[in-house]
Each structure stands twice: as C-alpha cells, then as structure tokens.
Amino acid sequence: MAANALAMTAQMCPNVSNCLRRLRRTNPVRLAALQIASGGSLSDQDIRMLTQTVQVRRCGRWREHVVACWCLGLCRLTINQYASASAALRDVMTLRRMRDVQGNMRRGLAWSALAGVTLGVTINTLFTLLNSEYDGFTLSDLGYGLSLSLLLSVLFYLPSLGASFASDVERVRLSVCEAARSLGRLRDPLSAGLLASAAAQGSGPLAEVACEALPEVLKAIRHDHYTLLPREATPALCCAAERTDENLAVQILDALGRAGSGAAAGPVRRMANASPSERVRKQAALVLPILEERLRQETSAARLLRPAEAPGAPRDILLRPASSATSVPEEQLLRPSSGPVDGSV
C-alpha cells in the first residue's frame, strides 16, 4: 500500500515524492501524506499536526515542511481548519522563512570560525612543542597562532558558504512552490495578491506554479471581497495583468471588476488604451467604469473624514472669546432689582 501511494505521489508531484522517500517510516507527516495519496481522509489531530508543521520555521525540517504544504491542499477541511491552514500557507508565500536561511548562515560562520581557531591553535601548539629550540610560549607564537586560525577559518567557511546558501534557498523555494499550489487548490481569495506577485516574475518554477494556481483563486473572488482583500492585492493583480499572458490577464481584470479597489483605475485605463491584445482591451474597457466609480467613492469617503476647518483662515479663529463693539461699564452689566415689578414677589 505504501509503495502504491509513493508511486501515485511521484506522478502527482516529484518533489514531494523525493521528500517523502527521505522521511522516516514512522514520521507522522509521511504517514499523513501516504494516507492522502491512497485516497483516505485525515483526522482533526492530523490536520492540526500538518498546520503546525507548516508554521515551524526550522530548515532542519524542510522535508516535512514541503510535504505538509502539499498535504494541506488536498485535505478536507472545516471552516476553522481552512482559515488556519490558508493563513499558514500564506505565511510561507511571504518568504519569511528566508530569515531562517540568514540565521543558518550566521551560525555556520560562527561554527566555522570556532573550528578554524581551535584547529589553528592546536596545530600551532604542536609545532611549537615539537620544535627543538622551544624556549617557552611567547607573543610571537600567539601571533602565529591567530594568523593561522584566521586563515583556516576563511578556508573552512568560504567553500561551504555558497553551497550552503544555495541549498537553503532551494529548500525554501520548494516550500513556497508547494504552498502556492495548495493555495490554488484551496481557492483562498486572500492569497490572490501573493500569487499575482509570484506570477508577475515571468519565469522560474515559482512563477509557473503561481500562474497555474492563480486562476483557481480568481474564480473564488466575489463582490463581497471588495473590502476584505489586502491592500497590496490590487497593485499586484494589476502588475500581473500587464505581464502575464492574455487568458490570465482577462481573468485578472474580471476579478478586479468584482473586488478590486479604485487604485486599479489607472493601470486598467492604460491597458484599455495601449494593450496589444484586443481581448484585454475589451475587458479593461468593460471594468474601467466600475473601478472609476469605486475610486470616486473612496476619494469622497476620504474627504468626509477630514477635520472641519475654516478655508483660508487661521486655526486660532475657530474658538475665540465673544467681544462687543461698545464698551459697557461693569457695574451696569448686572444690577439688583429695586423692588417687586408688576406686583410679583
């Protein structure tokens, strides 16, 4: 059963299959992936475990991370599970795990320096003790030892730096690609901006995966997502519409007409006037009035929220003491009554 599941996984995604083969047989992520590949369903505990694995940011568990990202796109999720899983996958798409790569580089530098210093001091001490004219440890011996330690540290670190960094970046890329593929399967509308930014790159494995996943996400965008999409989603979609192929550009423009903000009016107007594709020009001209109306409403709402000021007048005149044109003596402003008026008490 496990062999058949691995074969099915290899057909679906070779990268995930390679990671699965390197995991231990008792690894819970591996068992969950085999269960999914064989057509089974996962328990709530398994889905929670996969979500937590995606949220882990340790490059030492990168294979589990890749497999878990792939699994979340194929699970049957409840509403709460869908929200947490899509949020974890979007976090992977933001490339925040690159900070782990930088942390590994700093740790590698520290360990290489420590190994070089230790080896340099050891070699220098041995040569000094084996020297027949040894007359005690001097400052020159310390200088030779430090110089040798620095040289060995550089020789230890530089060859491994490029290979280590390239390997870590490739591992992060695999995780990001699987997260993008899973977000497309989940049809998460909030990931439209992230996928559009990746698709706008034009080339590379991540751009290809994003171009495949983005149409599925665009289909899930409705009119009520207008105020729910992230602020950076509209500029990213506009950029992708200008740089991707005709079919994807038309789908992006249709989604902008449903939930794009008024910031898309300028780029869409430019596409309606200068796009080389007739389909893109027609679709842009169709959604442009909607976006211009939204831009007008957003501008009007911003103006209504401004503080009230007297136009052309200094601020200190908004509140000022009342003054009279004639001066009245203070003793005449308030006088006691001399007696009852009209018979009143």
Give whole-number Cα distances, 313 to 155, 240, 316, 321, in Å: 72, 47, 9, 17
Provide the pLDDT for residue 296: 93
Amino acid at 167: S
171: tokens are 């591992």
Residue 275 lies in a domain: yes
Residue 214 pLDDT exceeds 70: yes
Provide the pLDDT for residue 15: 81
Q: Answer with the residue of higher pLDDT: 330 or 316.
A: 330
Residue 314 pLDDT exceeds 50: no
Torsion of CA 153, 117, 147, 126, to 10 degrees: -120
> Do residues 62 and 171 touch, judged by C-beta distance below 8 A?
yes
Residue 216 lies in a domain: yes
Please give the full DSSP string across 205-222, using - where no structure is assigned. Answer: HHHHHHHHHHHHHHHT--
Residue 151 lies in a domain: no
State the pLDDT confidence band at 173, using cuts at 50, 70 and 90: confident
Residue 342 pLDDT exceeds 80: no
Give whole-number Cα distances, 276 to 209, 243, 245, 255, 268, in Å: 25, 12, 11, 20, 13
Q: 227-276, pLDDT tens digit by residue?
A: 899 999 999 999 999 988 999 999 999 999 999 999 999 999 999 999 99
Provide the pLDDT for residue 1: 47
Of 40, 72, 93, which residue sits at a domain end? 93
Lowest mean pLDDT among 63-67, 201-205, 295-299, 330-334: 330-334
State the pLDDT confidence band at 142, using cuts at 50, 70 and 90: low
Distance CA 64, CA 20 (A): 8
Q: Answer with the residue of higher pLDDT: 311 or 253.
A: 253
Residue 8 lies in a domain: yes
Residue 145 lies in a domain: no
Give whole-number Cα distances, 179 to 13, 160, 206, in Å: 13, 29, 10
The contacts of residue 303 (CB under 8 Å, 6+ apart) are none
Residue 62 pLDDT exceeds 90: no
pLDDT average, residue stretch 147-156: 62
Give alpha helix (H) positions in the chain.
Answer: 2-12, 14-22, 28-37, 44-55, 62-72, 79-93, 98-130, 139-186, 192-199, 205-219, 233-243, 246-259, 265-274, 278-304
Provide the pLDDT for residue 170: 78
pLDDT average, residue stretch 46-65: 85
**Structural domain of 17:** 2-93
Residue 289 lies in a domain: yes
Distance CA 205, CA 208 (A): 5
Provide the pLDDT for residue 258: 94
Provide the pLDDT for residue 160: 60
How much is the pTM? 0.71
Of 45, 76, 93, which residue sits at a domain end? 93
Answer left, alpha or beta for residue 202, where phi above 0 means left and psi between -120 and 50 means alpha: left
Q: For the chain, how many structural domains are there in total?
A: 2
Which is nearest to 182 in space by CA: 222, 219, 212? 212
Lowest mean pLDDT among 30-39, 142-151, 194-203, 307-316: 307-316
Q: 17-42, pLDDT tens digit by residue?
A: 888 888 898 999 999 998 888 888 89
Burial 181-191 (b: 16+ CB within 10 A, else e): bbbbebbbbbb
Residue 226 lies in a domain: yes
Lowest mean pLDDT among 4-8, 88-92, 160-164, 198-202: 4-8
- Average predicted confidence (pLDDT) for the chain: 78
Residue 54 lies in a domain: yes
Provide the pLDDT for residue 209: 93
Residue 161 pLDDT exceeds 70: no
Provide the pLDDT for residue 339: 53
